[in-house]
Structure 1
Amino acid sequence: MKQYTQDRESAAPQGVSRRGFMRRAGAAGAVAAGALGAANAATPGPQRKARAKGVDYDVIVLGGGFAGVTAARDSMKNGYKTLLLEARDRLGGRTWTKEFEGHKVEMGGTWIHWTQPFVWSEVQRYKLEVEETPDGKVEPGAELRVLVDGRCEVLNKLEQLAPVLGAINKYFADAGQYWERPYDASFQWSEILKADKLNAGQVVQKMNLTPIQRVAVEAYAAGLSHGPLEQVSYLENSRWWALPGSSMTALHDSCGRYKFKHGTVSLINKMVEDGRPEIRLSTPVKSVEEKGDHVVVTTASGQHLTAAAVIVGLPMNVVHNVQFMPALDPLVAEAGRERHAGTGIKLLIKVKGHVTKTRVSAVAPPTHPLSFLATYSMAEDHTIFVMFGPDPKHIDYTDKAAVQKALRDYFPEAVVEAVDHQAWTEDPYARGTWCNYKPGWFAKYYEHFQKDRGRVFFGQGDHGEGWRGFIDGAIGAGGAAALRVKTRLG
């Protein structure tokens, strides 16, 4: 089966010059040499006729991220002739494996763990290798650097770190009140509604903290939120805490330690090889019209395709750009236009030599351009850092000099050799990073998300229970949608 590598250009978003977008976003993906060379080429699945009468396919899946790829694989294995339509010229959605300065890196979703049941079952199914972060020439030990009151404090002893860890524990102290069962929001729904309008920053403001503790908690919370603290629901950060077991160690291990040794694309390729759906890349969808006994999907090029069922795996921020007939739930469209709180930046920084020999985390107030930084990899002559910040417009993150100036607040002698990031908020097929809901969204929108309508089924990774917004949540959502289609089609 053809392998879906990711090393060619993707389309520039409307309203942004192609040169400007490519400068910010870097090259996006495509298919391995000799595979899908043409812009609208397709990979045929097995020679299989649709089981339903009078349609081209039993199932058409919209979106080639982990939700869509899972739904397409499972639909094929359920015996349905399945077509996967992806607007980009690569699969993976908001995951993207690429090369950066000799390292295989992830520009989007990265980390996995055995507390994430859906993705870990895939690791076991396909016997995929995982590795730890950071890798390379990292010596034992760890330190935390905190920018506070114009100076950098280096914390590397237990008695120095304990007050910071205690403050973070205190920040999440009420998580169990809302998420006793983090896969079942309805279980504590009355408590969730009480806290629905509380934003992630308000909780910090109410805490009695030292300056160092305040910086650390704000930076950590903003890293999880991946957007301004006042724009993300505190319920979302507390959900992250509850899911792996309500401890700092568990959250770190689940969300920042283990990743695919050969990239997220290694799982995408295994799923495609296993299910063998027909795939059409560079094929945006214009409309989805249910006709009662079938659904008509019209591509941007004007081609009409018919199916007994459609599974929608598109990100919530772009699904309203597709015309649905009957119309999309108005509140689902409204939420997409408002956009979720994931508006930040993930930046990779190559630094000359070793500015530290051990694993390091560095935090600053969310207004700092590099507010949450950690060691990603260490080689003989350089170090790779990964940074999560709430605002991609703090500085020009393509400017090595600007990044170096900010980095020297932590490491005064640092020399930046290369930087890279993917502009997900400008990507026309994402319009955001990982999904965190905004204050007030549970009461206003929650019951409207992921509601099937006739023969149109919604399996988006941005919605649902548990690890939604993660690779795990996307796999779970896609698989559940495929199962509901099986129930409907028989």
Structure 2
Amino acid sequence: MATNERDGVSRRKFIRNAGVVGAAGAAVAAGAVSLGTAVAGEKRGAKNVDCDYDVVVIGGGFAGVTAARDSMKNGYKTLVLEARNRLGGRTFSSEFAGHKVELGGTWIHWTQPFVWAEVQRYGLKLKETPEPFVEEQQTVRIIHEGKAVEPKLEELIGISKAIKEYFAHAPKLWERPYDAKHSWKELLAVDAMSGADRFAQLKLTPLERSFVDAYVSGIAHTTSDRASYADVARWWSLPGWNMTAFVDAIGRYSFKDGTISLINAMVDDGKPEVRLSTPVTKVEEQGKRVLITTQGGETIKAAAVIVAVPMNVLPRIAFTPALDPKLVEAAKEKHSGSGIKVFIRTKGKLPGDGKRIGVGGSEHPLNILATYAKAEDHTIFVGFGADPDKLDIQDRDAVQAVVSSFYPDLEVEECYGYEWTLDPYAKGTYCSYKPNWLGKYYDHFQKDRGRVIFGQGDHGEGWRGFIDGAIGAGGQAAMRTHKLLG
């Protein structure tokens, strides 16, 4: 299929799929509203004179919802303006083949302090991947020299050593993963290095390189040559510099009732006003207030604004005074997170009692293919790829060909995914920094300006780019807003 044909078909399917929010994703506050309408907040007047609201939050992902909940608890009349017809941002609870799935951000862990505190606060239930989870044998196949091979025991041992060697510098680069400046000199020394550049420093077998390359691509959600080595090393450092914790932290535990269950709990707890399908076009500071103009032409007056939109879409909003040119430059350049995530239903019960994983390097359409859920008459797999141009996730035949490259006995019945790179309010997946971004942009991110507060989950310390990082960023933005408004 020609590229322009593929884009046309994908876009049509994407637009259709984007409208299917499903029971899990449609609810905003325990089913309190319909799509495209508003959630009435707690009735209170604005504290600040000549303002409709004390705080307006732009963006209804985890950062924005956290900022709104906390601002309400701080006593401020708060409004959330979300461009989409749902809350959640780059998380998206849905259903596929009778299973609850997450089309965006999914997994959480107790090494992620902000999200884990929310799980404890609201008593939310978790599930494990694959579902049902059983400690069982895992079959691994690696694409090596164009063919899928099952590594022998000694090769698996070599791969384990290769991973440790690849991340050997991580403890020094990120001795304190929540304080980049603590090891700033060390980070700047490798700032220009890509994930692929690191391979040139190591003596790995082709099989070992293929495996490590696949994980680097999966981490950054882009090809390893476009990923920052320093940023990838951060992932390894956050759960404690070991493979078991790393795998569990990024791919084992998720919300039993979907990420939307936490969004709903936060909204119900804080009771901010929420307006869906309300894109913002302009933000203008005027002394002791800020004017926010929506796409529909409404002007809203607020004492402070919290910006919680993905960095790639920041240029959609006209700011007066103008934003820091470096912020605009970074947003137009776009972060490197731009891959694909696809759910795949295969026919019949998974042969044997174990689970399967397929691994392919940057050049392969899917870098990771893993068992997600098992049933008596089918199996659900989840796949991650670094480059959306290499696989149309809406094309069953194309997905079948890639799945067969790992496991020829698997018959694909249907596939399902959301193309975040085509979403006008995301323009990418989770945020991964590019080489040279730390030195070039780090000091410009999350810098407030007057009454405009930046609380984007794409930036900050720790688990930025994750659900945890978004909650942390939103909470900190709310605290700074409280300090500003008093």
- TM-score bin (small chain): over 0.9
The match for 2:66 is: 70
The match for 1:345 is: 340
The match for 2:331 is: 336
Q: Quote how far apart the aligned CAs of 1:298 are.
A: 0.5
Paired residues for 1:101-120 under 5 Å:
101-120=97-116
Q: Quote how far apart the aligned CAs of 1:138 are.
A: 5.5
**CA offsets, 1:226-280, max 9 Å, x none?**
0121111100110000011001111101100100111100000000000000000
2:429 equivalent to 1:433: yes
Q: Secondary structure at the match of 1:342?
A: coil
The match for 2:303 is: 308
Partner Cα separation in structure 2 for residue 420 and residue 84 of structure 1: 30
Q: Quote how far apart the aligned CAs of 1:283 are.
A: 0.2
Q: Secondary structure at the match of 2:14?
A: helix
Contact 1:139 1:357 in 2 (8 A): no
**CA offsets, 1:373-431, max 9 Å, x none?**
11111111111111111001103221111111111121112110110111001100000
Task: Structure 1: give runs of 5+ residues left out of the alignment.
Answer: 1-14
Q: Relative to 1, partners in 2 of residues 1:303 and 1:17: Cα closer, same or farther, differing over 3 Å?
A: farther
The match for 1:189 is: 184
Partner Cα separation in structure 1 for residue 290 and residue 141 of structure 2: 56
Could you tell me which amino acid in structure 1 is paired with residue 429 of structure 2?
Answer: T
Could you tell me which amino acid in structure 2 is paired with residue 76 of structure 1?
Answer: M
The match for 1:206 is: 201
Partner Cα separation in structure 2 for residue 276 and residue 24 of structure 1: 29
Partner Cα separation in structure 2 for residue 294 and residue 207 of structure 1: 56
**Pick from 464, 480, 486: which aligns with 1:484?**
480
2:370 equivalent to 1:374: yes
Q: Relative to 1, partners in 2 of residues 1:189 and 1:16: Cα closer, same or farther, differing over 3 Å?
A: farther
Partner Cα separation in structure 2 for residue 405 and residue 90 of structure 1: 34
**CA offsets, 1:334-362, max 9 Å, x none?**
10011001010011111112145312221
Q: Quote how far apart the aligned CAs of 1:224 are.
A: 0.4
2:18 equivalent to 1:21: no
More helix by share: 2
Partner Cα separation in structure 1 for residue 14 and residue 127 of structure 2: 32
Which shows bigger deviation, 196-205 or 351-360? Answer: 351-360
The match for 1:453 is: 449
Could you tell me which amino acid in structure 2 is paired with residue 90 of structure 1?
Answer: R
TM-score normalized with structure 1 length: 0.94
Task: Structure 2: give runs of 5+ residues left out of the alignment.
Answer: 1-7
Contact 1:26 1:421 in 2 (8 A): no
Could you tell me which amino acid in structure 1 is paired with residue 344 of structure 2?
Answer: I
2:259 equivalent to 1:259: no
Partner Cα separation in structure 2 for residue 143 and residue 470 of structure 1: 28
The match for 1:240 is: 235
Contact 2:27 2:264 in 1 (8 A): no
Q: Relative to 1, partners in 2 of residues 1:38 and 1:227: Cα closer, same or farther, differing over 3 Å?
A: closer
2:356 equivalent to 1:360: yes
2:265 equivalent to 1:270: yes
Q: Quote how far apart the aligned CAs of 1:136 are.
A: 2.4
Which shows bigger deviation, 20-29 or 125-134? Answer: 20-29
Contact 1:73 1:272 in 2 (8 A): yes
Partner Cα separation in structure 2 for residue 34 and residue 198 of structure 1: 47
Q: Relative to 1, partners in 2 of residues 1:74 and 1:137: Cα closer, same or farther, differing over 3 Å?
A: closer
Which shows bigger deviation, 453-462 or 226-235? Answer: 226-235
Partner Cα separation in structure 1 for residue 154 and residue 58 of structure 2: 52
Contact 1:355 1:411 in 2 (8 A): no
**CA offsets, 1:53-99, max 9 Å, x none?**
11000000000000000000000011100000000000000000100
Q: Secondary structure at the match of 1:318?
A: helix
**Pick from 199, 221, 224: which aligns with 1:229?**
224
Which shows bigger deviation, 84-93 or 41-50? Answer: 41-50
Q: Secondary structure at the match of 2:160?
A: helix
The match for 1:161 is: 156
Q: Relative to 1, partners in 2 of residues 1:23 and 1:83: Cα closer, same or farther, differing over 3 Å?
A: closer
Which shows bigger deviation, 382-391 or 362-371? Answer: 362-371
Partner Cα separation in structure 2 for residue 148 and residue 97 of structure 1: 35
Q: Quote how far apart the aligned CAs of 1:161 are.
A: 1.8
Could you tell me which amino acid in structure 1 is paired with residue 288 of structure 2?
Answer: D
Which shows bigger deviation, 422-431 or 201-210? Answer: 201-210
Q: Secondary structure at the match of 2:47?
A: coil
Q: Secondary structure at the match of 1:186?
A: helix
Q: Quote how far apart the aligned CAs of 1:209 are.
A: 1.3
Partner Cα separation in structure 1 for residue 485 and residue 360 of structure 2: 53
Q: Quote how far apart the aligned CAs of 1:142 are.
A: 1.6
TM-score normalized with structure 2 length: 0.94
Q: Quote how far apart the aligned CAs of 1:118 are.
A: 0.2
Q: Secondary structure at the match of 1:68?
A: helix
Q: Secondary structure at the match of 1:19?
A: helix
Partner Cα separation in structure 2 for residue 473 and residue 17 of structure 1: 31
The percent of aligned pairs where both chains have the same amino acid is 56
Q: Quote how far apart the aligned CAs of 1:34 are.
A: 6.9
Contact 1:204 1:217 in 2 (8 A): no
Q: Quote how far apart the aligned CAs of 1:137 are.
A: 7.4
**CA offsets, 1:1-37, max 9 Å, x none?**
xxxxxxxxxxxxxx99973532575734534797433
Contact 1:319 1:333 in 2 (8 A): yes
Q: Relative to 1, partners in 2 of residues 1:25 and 1:279: Cα closer, same or farther, differing over 3 Å?
A: closer
**Pick from 291, 294, 300: which aligns with 1:299?**
294
Partner Cα separation in structure 2 for residue 434 and residue 447 of structure 1: 20
Partner Cα separation in structure 2 for residue 312 and residue 456 of structure 1: 7
Partner Cα separation in structure 1 for residue 484 and residue 395 of structure 2: 53
Could you tell me which amino acid in structure 2 is paired with residue 74 of structure 1?
Answer: D
Q: Relative to 1, partners in 2 of residues 1:271 and 1:137: Cα closer, same or farther, differing over 3 Å?
A: closer
**Pick from 218, 228, 238: which aligns with 2:213?**
218
Could you tell me which amino acid in structure 2 is paired with residue 392 of structure 1?
Answer: P
Could you tell me which amino acid in structure 2 is paired with residue 27 of structure 1?
Answer: V
The CA RMSD over aligned residues, in Å, is 1.8
Q: Relative to 1, partners in 2 of residues 1:209 and 1:69: Cα closer, same or farther, differing over 3 Å?
A: same
Count residues in correspondence: 474
